[in-house]
Structure 1
Amino acid sequence: MSGCWPSWPACGDPESGCPWDLRQTWETIVPHTLEEAYEVADAISRRDFEAVRGELGDLLLQVVFYARIAEEEGRFDIHDVARTLAEKLVRRHPHVFADVRYDSEAEHHAAWELEKARERVEAGEGRGHLDGVALALPALTRAVKLQKRAARVGFDWDRPGPVLAKVLEEFDELRAEIEADAPEARLGDEVGDLLFSVCNLARHLGVDPEAALRGTNARFEDRFRFMEQALAAQGRRLEDADLQELDGLWEQAKQK
């Protein structure tokens, strides 16, 4: 992202501003916004709070950037963004900013969801129970959100056991398609069903599947690098080892 945050108005000046900044649109900034959000998550997962500070600044720049484009188009500005956020926080927290009291966390959560549903209707997002779940979310995260919406109307299991059985059922269906030499599109459908059911199991276990997979990715990287380094110490490359030796190094990495 552009390093122009300390003097943003000058960077966006049509005459003397940063050429990269001046070329950007709503659409071109979106990939950078997603990247910066993931970099914040990565820095937090590493407990590197100096990096968190910097990454939060980069993410904040995205907000300022969008607001500046909107201001130039006569839509809104950064003050409107902050004001809208403040109003939303007050509206969704009547137990903090008004005299409303909830007798339980479940009652509080139900009121929160009811208010969000009302906001979606006012925004013209529809009245369906699955409306408003952003398409741009990571697929694992979106799967969990869809499942939570369905659970609100009782379309859900009440314990993990049946969900695990569903995972195994989907696994067996995928295996049957593989053995039947099914076309790629069919295999894709079955893999998707399996992933969706695994997300549902994670939800019932109180596990965030996106975070769980990030952790697995990190462990895979650590173990793979261990294998690279172990072979490099012998003057060899991964390509020089057979699968049996690589499996042995992998087990060493797991134990380490």
Structure 2
Amino acid sequence: MYSLDDLLRLMARLRDPQYGCPWDVQQTYATLVPFTLEEAYEVADAIEQGDFEHLPGELGDLLFQVVYYAQLAQEEGRFDFASVVHGITAKLIRRHPHVFPTGELYAPLDTPRLNDTEVKQRWEQIKAQERAEKAQAPEQLSLLDDVPAALPALVRAAKLQKRVARVGFDWPNAEQVLGKVREELDEVTAAMAEPTGSSRAQAQAEEVGDLLFSVVNLARHLGVDAENALRGANGKFERRFHFIEQALREQRRAIEGCSLEALDALWDEAKRQEKPSPNGSAASLRD
């Protein structure tokens, strides 16, 4: 069976300027980013689908991205894969003093366990200290400094909101956030009523953005992960639309020739079949 050392050796061979793969030799940090994001989502998809047969392969693809970046950095004399491993290990030991009180990985496991609340409080204190240490000057430090700009927008919105909530900049309850959602929806309606033109399009985009941000806030207050909720909604939409397509195939009808009313009727049938049956299990869709 191949080992991690074998994977590192393979990566070095692929990047060999003379004997390596031309495509791999041409890659940079920036060109790899889209592949890294895609591989991460494929891991998430395999987990959501319960596809544990293919999960090792997806995890391997994601690991290869890390190895790739480390190889690029090693070629430039910045760091290597061992530095990556050391950095994450050291950070996790530092962030879990309740598990590693002496700061040693192989210390005896004799520390009393903390409850979830205590662990969260300790975690946030340590992260805040790390952020302070990273800042060049205390007056330049922002709570939002280390929220990555490249995160998916829903994820980043939730992180920004969670971060400022630590200092009390937050709605007190979900009911008040729901009121804000309604307010933002009214502002979208008002933007739609503006005269046609570039300012109208800009206003609509801005107000829709505010609406989405407030919906993420509502999700956070309800304990719902907005990104996962939207992924679930996407999956539900796909299932129901597949049902429509399959039903029309069985009827030998083209979807392009169907009225919206006919499509809506099939959509309602898809929803009906998704509802739990009397024995408690959901009816399966024909897709």
TM range (shorter): over 0.9
**Greater shift in the superposed pair: 156-165 or 34-43:** 156-165
Unmatched runs of 5 consecutive residues or more in structure 2 = 1-5, 103-110, 274-287
For the residues of structure 1 that align with 2:205 and 2:220, how far apart are their CA atoms?
23
Contact 2:39–2:58 under 8 Å retained in 1: yes
Match of 2:211 in 1: 194
For the residues of structure 2 that align with 1:32 and 1:51, how far apart are their CA atoms?
18
For the residues of structure 2 that align with 1:237 and 1:120, how far apart are their CA atoms?
58
Q: For residues 236 and 146 of structure 1, do their structure 2 counterparts lie closer, same or farther at Cα, with a shift above 3 Å needed?
A: same
For the residues of structure 2 that align with 1:112 and 1:120, how far apart are their CA atoms?
12
Task: Tell me the SS of whatever aligns to 2:53.
Answer: helix
Match of 2:58 among 55, 60, 67: 55
Matching of residue 29 in structure 1 with residue 50 in structure 2? no
Deviation of the 1:107 alpha carbon: 3.8
Structure 1 residue runs of 4+, over 6 Å off?
99-103
Match of 2:258 among 227, 241, 247: 241
Matching of residue 118 in structure 1 with residue 135 in structure 2? no
Matching of residue 130 in structure 1 with residue 144 in structure 2? yes
For the residues of structure 1 that align with 2:251 and 2:67, how far apart are their CA atoms?
51
For the residues of structure 1 that align with 2:155 and 2:19, how far apart are their CA atoms?
42
For the residues of structure 1 that align with 2:114 and 2:147, how far apart are their CA atoms?
29
| Number of residues of Structure 1 aligned to a counterpart in Structure 2 | 253
Match of 2:193 in 1: 179
For the residues of structure 2 that align with 1:127 and 1:238, how far apart are their CA atoms?
56
Deviation of the 1:186 alpha carbon: 0.4
For the residues of structure 2 that align with 1:228 and 1:105, how far apart are their CA atoms?
47
After superposition, give the CA deviation of every residue in 1:167-188 in whole Å (9 maximum; x if it has no partner): 1111111112212346100011
Deviation of the 1:110 alpha carbon: 2.6
Matching of residue 204 in structure 1 with residue 215 in structure 2? no
Contact 1:102–1:108 under 8 Å retained in 2: no
Unmatched runs of 5 consecutive residues or more in structure 1 = none
For the residues of structure 2 that align with 1:50 and 1:17, how far apart are their CA atoms?
31
Identity of aligned residues (%): 55
After superposition, give the CA deviation of every residue in 1:157-203 in whole Å (9 maximum; x if it has no partner): 22211111111111111112212346100011110111001000000
Q: Which amino acid aligns with 2:151?
A: L
Match of 2:243 in 1: 226
Match of 1:153 among 167, 174, 181: 167
After superposition, give the CA deviation of every residue in 1:121-177 in whole Å (9 maximum; x if it has no partner): 333485111111100000000000000111000011222111111111111111122
Contact 2:194–2:200 under 8 Å retained in 1: no
Match of 1:140 among 125, 149, 154: 154
Contact 2:11–2:71 under 8 Å retained in 1: no
Matching of residue 164 in structure 1 with residue 164 in structure 2? no
Match of 2:42 among 26, 30, 39: 39
For the residues of structure 1 that align with 2:215 and 2:162, how far apart are their CA atoms?
14
For the residues of structure 2 that align with 1:109 and 1:78, how far apart are their CA atoms?
30
Match of 2:82 in 1: 79
Of Structure 1 and Structure 2, the greater helix share is in 1
Give the TM-score normalised by the residue count of structure 2: 0.83
Q: Which amino acid aligns with 2:101?
A: A
For the residues of structure 2 that align with 1:134 and 1:112, how far apart are their CA atoms?
19
For the residues of structure 2 that align with 1:67 and 1:103, how far apart are their CA atoms?
35
For the residues of structure 2 that align with 1:199 and 1:158, how far apart are their CA atoms?
15
Q: For residues 162 and 102 of structure 1, do their structure 2 counterparts lie closer, same or farther at Cα, with a shift above 3 Å needed?
A: farther
RMSD of aligned Cα (Å): 1.9
For the residues of structure 2 that align with 1:86 and 1:17, how far apart are their CA atoms?
31
Deviation of the 1:8 alpha carbon: 2.4
Task: Tell me the SS of whatever aligns to 1:68.
Answer: helix
For the residues of structure 1 that align with 2:112 and 2:118, how far apart are their CA atoms?
10
